[in-house]
Amino acid sequence: MDEDLVTIGVFARRSWLSPKALRLYERQGLLLPAAVDEHNGYRWYREQQLEQARLIARLRRIDMPLATIATIVAADDPPTQAALIGDYWAAQEHATAVRRAIVTHLRHRLLDNPEGYTMYDVKVRDVPEQTVLTEQRHVKVQDLPAWIDEAVGRLLKAAAGHGDGIVGPCFIIYHGEVNEDSDGPVEICLPVDPTGPVEAATRVEPAHREAYTRITKAQVGYPQILSAFDAVGQWVSSQGLPVSPAPREVYFADFGAAAPSDEVCDVAFPLD
């Protein structure tokens, strides 16, 4: 027997993996034994396999799925492996932030706790008249993200040939309730240079005052974003003002590049 080989028991102790785990990872193709006794099926491993085994053990400690571990192990290049681990963890942090926001929203709703909305800082601002490229559709919440991505892409393309192009942040107006049963309609607006040629549907968004609160990327998803709408609506009502039938989301940052904790959107209610 090769002197470099060690028994599965020794390898298990030194790699922080149990023999049962080693057999599982063998079946998954993650960590194959260096030799298998053809008579009794006994497994042997090489010392050089310890580093890979310990990597797998550490990744399992952060609950990384085996399929993801397999991709990292197959990369067999430390910088690439480090990048893949970083991508995985960034996705986990985003998912955790989203779940935290959903839990906060659900607790406020279930407890009917108005004071829970004090976490939102509501302010008022003046918005000037704007010429906007616009697209509108009846769409339910489950189809909303895909339609927004497609519609914004079309409006950005149209804006490229519209005078000086985009002159303000994109905003989404809800002309009716949007959920699993109601479909709005929803309107996407992209402010553009009013002197440019018309290459898409346009209209003038009137000047107005609006109450708004700023939220993070993690708070934007449904249903957690409803807490922000509730907070602004409640503030407007507390001022003795009618609640706008056309609340909106104003996206002022690069959503794709933002981290879960980055502020990306204003939830706003026109006041006049």
pTM, two decimal places: 0.64
Average predicted confidence (pLDDT) for the chain: 88
pLDDT digits (tens, 9 = 90+) for 12-35: 888 888 888 888 888 888 888 888
pLDDT digits (tens, 9 = 90+) for 82-113: 999 999 998 898 888 777 777 876 777 677 66
Confidence at residue 162, expressed as pLDDT on a 0 to 100 scale: 63
One DSSP character per residue, the chain reads --TTEEEHHHHHHHHT--HHHHHHHHHTTSS--SEE-TTT--EEEEGGGHHHHHHHHHHHHTT--HHHHHHHHHH--HHHHHHHHHHHHHHHHHHHHHHHHHHHHHHHHHHT-GGGGGGS--EEEEE--EEEEEEEE---GGGHHHHHHHHHHHHHHHHTTSTT-B-S-EEEEESS-BSSS-B--EEEEEEB-TTS---S-EEEEPPEEEEEEEEEHHHHSTTTHHHHHHHHHHHHHHTT-PPPS--EEEE-S-TTT--TTSEEEEEEEE--
Look at 71-75, 168-172, 193-197 and tell me which has the smallest mean pLDDT: 193-197
Which CATH code fits 5-75?
Answer: 1.10.1660.10
Which CATH code fits 118-270?
Answer: 3.20.80.10
Q: What are the structural domain ranges in the chain?
A: 5-75, 118-270
